[in-house]
Structures are given as C-alpha cells and as structure tokens.
Amino acid sequence: MIVPFTKMQGIGNDFVVVDAISQALYLNQGQISQLAHRNFGIGFDQLLLIEAPQHPEADFHFRIFNADGSEAGHCGNGARAVAKYVRQKGLTWKRELRLSTNTATMNTVLEDNGLITINMGKPRLEPEKIPLRFAEASDAYAIEVDGIRHKVGAVSMGNPHCVLTVDNIATAPVQELGPKLSQHSYFPAQANVGFMQIVNPEEIKLRVFERGVGETLACGTGACAAVVVGRLQNLLKEKVKVGLPGGSLWIRWEGKGHQVYMTGPAKVVFEGQIDI
C-alpha cells in the first residue's frame, strides 16, 4: 500500500503526518517502529494520524504514536503540526480549530505572525489522574533513585510528566536519570521527565526525556508541565519563555483552575510516499 505523508517539525520535534480521513489506514506497532527508524524508515519522534472528528464540537481528531509504536495521549508540538497541516492541505479554511486526541481537546489559533497558539487545557494535579503512586497531591514529591532522593514535581498534560530543577541543563544527567525516573514504580504508566534550569522567573531552559522516544529536541507538553511545576513551586511568573534544544516556546498559565496556553511554530520539511 502506497501511503502519502508529510514530514513536519516543531522546534526540532519531528513528525510524520498522515491523512487518515480520505484513506483507510491501519498500522501495527511493528510497522510504526520500522517507519520511525532513522536509517531504515522515514525517521520521526511521533507519527500523527489525522482522522474525522469523533464528536460534533471538534474539527479533527488525531492519534499520536511514539517511535517505539506505543500510543500517546497528547502532544502539544504535534497539535501545532496538525493545525498547520489541515490548513495547508485545504482540509479546512478556518484559522481557529478544535482538535481532539484520545485524552484531550484543544483550541488552536493560527496567528498572523505564523506562530500557532494552543489551549492545552487544565493541568491535572491529582496523583490518581497523573497517574502517580502517592496518596496526596503536593507541589513537590521525593522520589528515590539509586539511593538518592530527588525533589520532583508531577503533572499530567494529557500525558504524565515528572519535572526536576537542575543548576545547568548542559550537565544534567538526562540519559542516566531520565529513563530511571520515567520507568519508576511511582509512575505506573511511565512518565516524560523534564530537567529544568531557571534562568529568571520569566525564562527557563529545558531538556526532556520522553517515554517511548528518549531525549527529544522539543516537547510541547513537557514545556507546559515545567512551567506548571515552576509556578506551583513559586519559581516562575505567569508568562514564561521555554528554551529547548530545538528552539523556543512561550507558555502562559495563570494558576490552578486555569487553562495552559502554548505558542510556537510548526514547519513542513518535505512531502513523500512510502510503501507499507
């Protein structure tokens, strides 16, 4: 089967985007992981399948698959890519769209400057909704790894995140500590792990180890989670510039009970076809 695709990226977080509205398409986990291979496939962090809306309030539904073939519930950078894709492909002429995933529904706005703003929804802070194996919610949790206790924040942005503050992200143990925290027994669904360096109350630097992917150049939900944790710990202001290895995002969160807003770019890299 020949499948057309579009390769896209949002500050280095790269995607293969496929229109699954006009064609029936089913891919198993092995096929997805092979497509994701950087040498023997197309190569991507996530595969995004755009589908018809599943409820009347949404314009489009999309599914997110990690490079290992596992399915994710939410992807902020991916939502920006989807919004730009459906507009450029003529699937819609709207500048304001409502997109749904398996765990979230987002309003997106294509701004005049080419950036895309997404309403990422309210962060989930209750341990059972993250999910996190702690009895009570807290702004900071102590999790032990290899005999060392780490102070972390935890939040769900449609997928679980663990965030810890470091002095310097250049020397942060992302490759060593990231997978151990991601797969820690406290996180029954695993977690994305963010290493956050606070430059000042309105700017942070961030590296993210994503479950099912490894370290990526960018993670939209990870940027949102980091700002939420920083705000809960009284370290950050309402509007924060988040510098990731692939570029910058702008996150706004007023506080508990409010929605998180993310603004950033999405770009087409190339178009192609692949025989599956």
pLDDT category at 168 given cuts 50, 70, 90 is very high
Over range 175-195, report the average pLDDT. Answer: 97
In tens, the pLDDT along 215-265 reads 989 899 999 999 999 999 999 999 999 999 999 999 999 999 999 999 999
254 and 131 co-located in one domain: yes
CATH of the domain at 176: 3.10.310.10
Share of the chain above pLDDT 90, in %: 88
100 and 134 co-located in one domain: no
Of 219, 225, 232, 266, which one is the catalytic site residue?
Answer: 219
Structural domain count, the chain: 2
140 and 40 co-located in one domain: no
139 and 163 co-located in one domain: yes
Q: How far apart are CA 228 and CA 11, in angstroms?
A: 21
Q: In this predicted structure, what is the pLDDT of residue 66?
A: 92
Is 219 tagged catalytic?
A: yes
14 and 89 co-located in one domain: yes
155 and 192 co-located in one domain: yes
63 and 83 co-located in one domain: yes
Is 224 tagged catalytic?
A: no
275 inside domain = no
85 and 178 co-located in one domain: no
Report the binding-site residues for substrate.
13, 46, 66, 76-77, 159, 192, 210-211, 220-221
15 inside domain = yes
| Full residue range of the structural domain in which residue 198 is found | 127-258
133 inside domain = yes
Report the binding-site residues.
13, 46, 66, 76-77, 159, 192, 210-211, 220-221
Q: In this predicted structure, what is the pLDDT of residue 65?
A: 95
In tens, the pLDDT along 41-77 reads 999 999 999 999 998 899 999 999 999 999 988 888 8
62 and 163 co-located in one domain: no
Flag whether the pTM goes above 0.85. Answer: yes
Residue-averaged pLDDT of the chain: 95
Over range 153-157, report the average pLDDT. Answer: 96
Of 17, 36, 75, 83, which one is the catalytic site residue?
Answer: 75
